[in-house]
Chains A and B, each alone.
Chain A
Amino acid sequence: DAGITQSPRYKITETGRQVTLMCHQTWSHSYMFWYRQDLGHGLRLIYYSAAADITDKGEVSDGYVVSRSKTENFPLTLESATRSQTSVYFCAATPREGTYEQYFGPGTRLTVT
């Protein structure tokens, strides 16, 4: 069955390093989203994309960059990681055109030391 995958599942990096989190989905039509989940804040939207080469900022986009050159991939890059970016990152997609029901990947737990 088609689905959504994320890699890596766990990542430890140092402050100031660049990190890229990968998201891949196999649906032909799909919006894609990046969220972060933190205790006390819940899930917050970082970036989203309506289609290839179309991206837009969410609530907490500072310090993050995205691209979507191919419909199936939506990488999230932390340009210069900070400790405040330690979080669990979830990618989501909407496989069914017209309903916008979002399906989530398994998440990436990122620790910035």
Chain B
Amino acid sequence: KQEVTQIPAALSVPEGENLVLNCSFTDSAIYNLQWFRQDPGKGLTSLLLIQSSQREQTSGRLNASLDKSSGRSTLYIAASQPGDSATYLCAAQGGSEKLVFGKGTKLTVNP
């Protein structure tokens, strides 16, 4: 059974700092790895999807990498801003279409 872990559960950084969020998964036979952002009381916004044949994806200040052999993905946020404050979730998709989610990292960027 796939299990997804995100460490740390919470992170507080000053504005402008570069930061890395970690995601690990137990079953390396994944099809996709998807990163989401969730603001309080809101739905999930898809940030990046990395397919199993890819090593990384970039969107603006965000860069996500995938290492299937080690069961790890990282989300790199460059030059963090207060507007980046949110909970970040990663989810692994196996041979079926179902996503298994981590419990998220709550990020606070202080002005």
Residues of A within 8 A of B (CB): 31, 33, 40-45, 48, 50, 58, 90, 92, 94, 99-107
Contacts and interface: CB of A to CB of B under 8 A. Distances in A.
B104 A99 contact: no
A104 B44 contact: yes
- Decide if the interface of chain A is mainly helix, strand, loop or mixed: strand
- Decide if the interface of chain B is mainly helix, strand, loop or mixed: strand
B13 to A, nearest CB: 23
Given A90-B44, A106-B43, A107-B43, A99 B97 contact: no
Interface string B67-111: 000000000000000000000010101000111011110000000
Interface of B: 31-32, 34, 36, 42-46, 49, 51, 89, 91, 93, 97-99, 101-104
A102 B104 contact: no
Given A42-B101, A42-B102, A42-B104, A103 B32 contact: no
A41 B100 CA distance: 12
A8 B86 CA distance: 25
